[in-house]
Chains A and B, each alone.
Chain A
Amino acid sequence: MSESLRLRPPRQLVSRRAIAWWTAQAALEVAAVLIPLGGGWILWSGARPWLTGITIAVVVVGLGYVLVMPQWRFRVHRWETTHDAVYTSAGWISQEWRVAPMSRIQTVDIERGPLQQLFGLATVTVTTASAAGALRLAGLDRALAEDLVEQLTHTTQATPGDAT
């Protein structure tokens, strides 16, 4: 058994617009923390000595998160379908690779949140009979996602059996 056995990255990148989507998402998350802090700073002058430090720390960490996370994710998030399987990788600091064989796929869903719609993106969720094995392909181009769903549905319908 070799030490150099490894998973190769899936072949397809997600849409480049996913970077913008993740950035917007991260910015919103950071804002959700910063706005109450800022409000506290304005309204409660007694707390300013220590609140200032916390706010600055949140701004620095948040800025790093907004700038780094989307780029990092874009390099990790990939997907691929072969004749027999769907293969995805996701994450940034923690990473995850998932494989589901075509013959075990039960449903293929498409989903577009408000932010994703803004950027013309979609998430495709591929579920198997397992309660824990769903594959999520986030940040795909919308048209591509729809084609993919059609193709996957077609392929899995042609496969007999109850997928358990």
Chain B
Amino acid sequence: VTQTAPRNPDWQRLDPRMLAVTPLRQLAGLLPVIAVVLVIGVRQDIGGQLYGLLAGVLVVLAGVLRWLTTRYRITKERVELRSGLLFRTTRSVPRDRIRSVDVTAGPVHRLFGLSVVKIGTGERTDGAESRELTLDAVSAAEADRMRQRLLNRLGAGNPDHSGVPVEPTATELAALNWSWLRFAPLTVSSLVAVGAVAGAFGQLIGEVSDVADLGGVRERLSAAPLWLGVSAFAVLVLVIALVGSVLIFVEAWWGFRLVRELGGTLRTHRGLLTIRSVSLEERRLRGVEVIEPPLLRIGRGARATAVATGLGGGRGALLPPAPRGEAHRVTGAVLTEDPSPTRTTLRRHPLVALRRRLVRAVLPVLVGSAVLWLAPVPAWAAWATLGLLPVTVLLALDAYRNLGHALTSRYLVTRHGAGVRDTVALQRSGVIGWTVSQSFFQRRAGLVTVTATTAAGGGAYSVIDVGHAEGLAVAEQTVPGLLGPFLQYDVGGATNTLSSRL
């Protein structure tokens, strides 16, 4: 399918069908504007039409130019991408640095059988220079071939120029269960839906109200009793949230599968309109995270994500919102550990940590209430502020209950969160440094926060408010010999180094 550049047989062009896709997608982006123009009607003058035509020609020309000037090649050692006419850029990624290959196909791309390939390296991005190559777009078959070739290190030795896609044997780790649809309204997507509809509605009202008052609707609305209006509005919002979140869930997770492919690659595949496939090299996996946001937690649901180098921006999702047990099972399956380290019984942190949380929950409310008491506002405002106390205290109790850590043979497990509960299992061999921090109040309470730094995911995972000595000991046990040389062990005034003691 791909055409070769005349000068060098290795260099390939993007798929020529892109020439049609780019203008169409631009057009799709302009759809709301076009709709508004059609509804409201704009004075048709020759100038406007000319500009429209010119813009259309420019879009097509830009697409052609991009296609003409963009070439890529995959050699034994590197993937290279050349693009630009005036500013020629050559991006080059060593193949052994490739951590992930994402294949995405939006509706327009799918119409033409195309896919966008994103090749990610785990490198830190300082400033604008992103270490990611995007090929927009190649044929779906080529994308699949590329994905397998780039991530399958076993096959990297023999040159795979035959073009015959080798279907690797894959084990399924998880697949969509439609009963999980019940978690959809418990995610932020329900808020997103309400926001989107409200935004669109607001715009519509703004445009329509100038044209006509639709059959006296406004008059009838203002005549209705207030409680009716409010409850009707509440029901409407609820329905939009429900339907919207379900739609978003279906679009995002349709046909979801998580598989382990031969050669050590984890791959998720999902999407109804836009198909997204994320492939991740297993040896780049540094751990897993089970997150339970407040609403999902009430519904006994959770999310599971991978902690991996070169995998940011929410691409690490291992599961749709799913039952908590399933989330733990899948993280275990991904790490090939049974039971999952995220299920480990955690050690509680000292009770002083609870005191700290209670102080933080109570003090600001009391201060706020006192300020309102002195301020020239009605007295009930001060009392009402005190009404927040039960909420903040409950959150503080929850925050303390969620604190914990444990060390398994291969993982450091830590948990924290108020309302939301966040459990991380981090590979001990993936820890590349420690930060021990102690605030004034922590010092007085004999607590520290011990943070493991890692190249993966968020870059740092903390054991928060752990006992001073225990936190240091855990750090040293996690990666023996890293923190140890800087630890001291005092016995009745005498000082020993740690290594003689542990």
**Complex CA–CA separation, A143 to B485 (angstroms):** 27
* Contact between chains at A129 and B432 (CB < 8 Å): yes
How many residues on A have C-beta within 8 angstroms of the other chain's C-beta atoms?
A: 36
Contacting A at CB under 8 A, from B433-469, are 433-440, 443, 451, 453-456, 458-460, 468-469
A100 and B433 contact, Cβ closer than 8 Å, known pairs A2-B469, A5-B473: yes
Min distance, Cβ B348 to any Cβ of chain A, angstroms: 14
Cβ-neighbour of B482 out of A94, A95, A101 (below 8 A): A101
* Contact between chains at B460 and A132 (CB < 8 Å): yes
**Complex CA–CA separation, A91 to B435 (angstroms):** 13
**Complex CA–CA separation, A104 to B460 (angstroms):** 15
Contacting A at CB under 8 A, from B84-139, are 97, 122, 124
**Complex CA–CA separation, A164 to B455 (angstroms):** 5
A10 and B486 contact, Cβ closer than 8 Å, known pairs A97-B436, A130-B454, A132-B459: yes
* Contact between chains at A4 and B469 (CB < 8 Å): yes
**Complex CA–CA separation, A94 to B439 (angstroms):** 4
A7 and B491 contact, Cβ closer than 8 Å, known pairs A93-B439, A128-B455, A130-B455: no
* Contact between chains at A96 and B437 (CB < 8 Å): yes
**A35 at the B interface (CB under 8 A):** no
Nearest A residue to B491 via CB reads A4
A6 and B487 contact, Cβ closer than 8 Å, known pairs A98-B435, A129-B309, A164-B455: yes
Contact with B along A78-111 (1 / 0, CB 8 A): 0010101101000101111111110010100000
Residues of A within 8 A of B97 (CB): 162
A132 and B458 contact, Cβ closer than 8 Å, known pairs A4-B491, A8-B488: yes
How many residues on B have C-beta within 8 angstroms of the other chain's C-beta atoms?
A: 40
Residues of B within 8 A of A132 (CB): 435, 451, 453, 458-460
**Complex CA–CA separation, A82 to B483 (angstroms):** 12
Residues of A within 8 A of B460 (CB): 130-133
* Contact between chains at A7 and B470 (CB < 8 Å): no
Residues of B within 8 A of A94 (CB): 437-440
Contact with A along B473-493 (1 / 0, CB 8 A): 100000001110111111100
**Complex CA–CA separation, A80 to B309 (angstroms):** 29
Cβ-neighbour of B488 out of A5, A93, A101 (below 8 A): A5
* Contact between chains at A131 and B436 (CB < 8 Å): no
Min distance, Cβ B66 to any Cβ of chain A, angstroms: 32
Cβ-neighbour of A87 out of B432, B440, B443, B486 (below 8 A): B486
**Complex CA–CA separation, A148 to B170 (angstroms):** 50
* Contact between chains at A133 and B453 (CB < 8 Å): yes
* Contact between chains at A4 and B455 (CB < 8 Å): no
Cβ-neighbour of A128 out of B453, B498, B501 (below 8 A): B453
**Complex CA–CA separation, A131 to B456 (angstroms):** 8
A95 and B432 contact, Cβ closer than 8 Å, known pairs A6-B469, A8-B487, A10-B486: no
A98 and B433 contact, Cβ closer than 8 Å, known pairs A5-B469, A85-B482, A85-B485: yes
**Complex CA–CA separation, A1 to B491 (angstroms):** 12
Contact with B along A126-156 (1 / 0, CB 8 A): 0111111100000000000000000000000
Nearest A residue to B443 via CB reads A95
* Contact between chains at B473 and A4 (CB < 8 Å): no
**Complex CA–CA separation, A7 to B485 (angstroms):** 9
Nearest A residue to B454 via CB reads A130
Nearest B residue to A103 via CB reads B432
Cβ-neighbour of A130 out of B433, B469, B501 (below 8 A): B433
**B290 at the A interface (CB under 8 A):** no
* Contact between chains at B440 and A6 (CB < 8 Å): no
* Contact between chains at B439 and A99 (CB < 8 Å): no
Residues of A within 8 A of B454 (CB): 130
A100 and B489 contact, Cβ closer than 8 Å, known pairs A5-B469, A6-B469, A131-B458: no
A130-B455, A131-B458, A163-B432 are known; give 12 further A-B pairs, CB within 8 A.
A1-B469, A1-B473, A4-B490, A5-B488, A7-B483, A84-B485, A85-B482, A94-B440, A97-B486, A100-B433, A132-B453, A133-B435
Closest 8 CB pairs of A and B: A133-B453, A131-B459, A129-B455, A132-B460, A132-B459, A164-B455, A130-B453, A5-B469
- The chain B residues found within 8 Å of chain A, CB to CB, are 97, 122, 124, 284, 309, 432-440, 443, 451, 453-456, 458-460, 468-470, 472-473, 481-483, 485-491, 498, 501
